[in-house]
Each structure stands twice: as C-alpha cells, then as structure tokens.
Amino acid sequence: MLVVMERREFIKGTAGVLASSTGVARASVAKSNAGSKASKSRRFQLNYAPHLGMFTTHAGADPFDQLRFMADEGFTAFEENWMVNYSPAEQEKFGKTLDELGMQMGVFVAHASFSDITFAASGSSFRERLKKEMQSACEVAARVGAKWCTVVPGGYDKGVEWDYQTANVIDNLRFAADILEPAGLTMVLEPLNPWRDHAGCFLTKVSQAYMICRAVNSPSVKVLDDLYHQQITEGNLIPNIDAAYGEIAYFQVGDNPGRNEPGTGEINFKNVFKHIHAKGFTGVIGMEHGNSMGGKEGERAVIDAYAAADSF
C-alpha cells in the first residue's frame, strides 16, 4: 500500500482485493509463518482487528488463509468494510471460519455516504433506502456473527439551519434503530475529519456523535471513535474518550500523518491503548490503515507495531 492513502482509495483498494481473492488458489499459511514461532503464543491485551489485504505477502490472496494467518499472529478480531459485497454463502463461510478461529467479527459498512445528503434530509424520500440497508445489515450480521455495523450519515445541506438537519439525523436514526434493535445489531456512527479527507460530511466530531446518540437513546446507535480522524479534527484523544465513553462502542486506529500503523506518526498509541484497556473496554479496535512499507517486511512491521503498542 502507499504510505499516504486517501480513505476512498483505501476502501476501493481493499474492495478490489476482496473481489479478486475468492477464486485464487490458497497459499500455504504454514509456510508463510516460518520464522515466527514466537507469534503463535502471543496474546494481545485488546482485540485489534486487521482487514483483508493487510498480510497478503505472508498469507496469500485467499481471504480465509489471511484469517488463519491473523489468528496465528495473535489477533482475536477481524473487520471487513465491504462484507455486504460477498454472497450469502461466502458470508456464512466467514462466520464459520471466525468461530473456528475464536475471532470476533468487527464492523462492516451498512451505510456510507460522504457527500450526498442522506440522514440530514427531511421527509420520507430516504426512508425506503434506509429500510433496505438496515434489513440487509441484519441479514449479513446474522451470517458472519457481527455485533456492529458502520454508518457514515452523509453530507449536510448548506441551505438549511444546522439544528434542523441534526433533528432530521436523529429522526432517521430512530427509524433505523427500530429495525436493528430486534436483531441485536448496533450501528456505530463514524465522525470523519473535514480537513484532510472528507470535507462536507455532516458528522465530524466525537462530541457531536455523542450528543446525537444521547438524543436517539437506543442501544443500537452508538459511536465509532476513529482516532486517526479525531487526531486531525480535534485531538485531545484521551479526554474525549473519557467524555464520550458511555456512547462509544467501537474504536478504529491509524497514525497521523500518513494513516499507517502505530509508531509511524504523532499519536502515542501505547498510552491510548493502555487507557482504553484500563476503562475495561472488551470490544474491537479496527486497524483501518495502510502499511507504511510493502512486502513481508512491511507486514511484519505492522504486527510488531501492535505488539509494541500493546506492551503497556
């Protein structure tokens, strides 16, 4: 992967890996793990979740060999943004494989709009689409064993008062929650930074997401605190975790600048992970970033970075 990667490029690249990997002949995971015997006994203190495409040089292109490699390296969770693009049979295979490996399924994307006005819109024009997306998310979650799905609630309207748009977002989230709650699925709202990657998005700050979640008042609507985005938008990471913790259900990470593994930028992830662990967090921390270097050396650097940041 490139050292610096736009979110859309990252997601597009990951989706390409997924779409092409299913039919590729399986690589030998046993061979790829040669020289890493110590990793097999590693146990991370938090549930870090790699994504497909992160370890292909070691594990090959087959997604299930990649899962086995992740488990062999001590990872106890996995996330895949575009799980909805897999067939139901493939989704069920993911769920079965994760269960066999003792790994948790992290987030997949249920709704992501970066510029279209969706959740901030009034009226019922968006509701039919939202209903279908939430019903589909429940079906996917049941197959893969997921507890969370990501929602990026679209752009904002420059011609409408902000508070009216916030009320629309709350109403639309309540509508979605009525579908998700019976299935036990939680959507996690992801604030995105407007300065580097996503100008024009409605949701940008953890405090804003916290307020909306409090207003919706549903166990199926919580916050995804992506520390890469929030380092850019507002910083103050640990105090904001504390302030919003009651509504945070999921974390994602990537260092800044560069959006690569911990230790390649300015964030002290060892302290952040220590703080999250001390709060008793038992959910998933998604590794939504690129590799700062290519090849096996770069993949091993990612694993070593998490081992170092987890050694608190």
Whether residue 34 has pLDDT greater than 50: no
Using DSSP's 3-state secondary structure scheme, residue 312 falls into coil
Residue 37: inside a domain:
no
Residue 30: inside a domain:
no
Residue 134: inside a domain:
yes
Residue 111: inside a domain:
yes
**What pLDDT does residue 8 have?**
40
> Is the separation of the CB atoms in 97 and 104 below 8 Å?
no
The torsion of the CA quartet 62, 262, 82, 199, rounded to 10 degrees, works out to -150
* Cis ω before 257 (30° cut-off from 0): yes
Report residue 39's pLDDT band, with 50, 70 and 90 as the boundaries.
low
Residue 15: inside a domain:
yes
Task: Kindly state the average pLDDT of the residues 178-192.
Answer: 98
Report residue 9's pLDDT band, with 50, 70 and 90 as the boundaries.
very low
Residue 27: inside a domain:
no
Q: Please give the residue range of the domain that contains residue 135.
A: 7-22+46-309
> Is the separation of the CB atoms in 248 and 212 below 8 Å?
no
Using DSSP's 3-state secondary structure scheme, residue 208 falls into helix
pLDDT averaged over every residue in the chain: 90
Burial class (CB in 10 A: 0-12, 13-18, 19+), 32: buried
CATH code, 66? 3.20.20.150
Burial class (CB in 10 A: 0-12, 13-18, 19+), 42: middle
Distance CA 225, CA 32 (A): 33
C-alpha 201 chain-centroid distance: 18
**What pLDDT does residue 124 have?**
80
Q: Which residues contact 79 (CB under 8 A, 6 or more apart)?
A: 49, 50, 51, 105, 106, 107, 108, 284, 286, 287, 288
How many Å is the maximal CA-CA distance in the chain?
60
Residue 58: inside a domain:
yes
Considering its fold, how many domains does the chain have in total?
1
Q: Output b/e per residue, 226-238; b: 16+ Cβ within 10 A.
A: bbbbbbbbbeebe
Using DSSP's 3-state secondary structure scheme, residue 222 falls into strand
How many CB atoms neighbour CB 54 within 10 A? 25
Whether residue 16 has pLDDT greater than 80: no
Whether residue 32 has pLDDT greater than 50: no
Dihedral sign, Cα of residue 267, residue 271, residue 274, residue 279: negative
6, 22, 266, 288 from 16: Cα distances, Å:
15, 11, 30, 16
Residue 1: inside a domain:
no
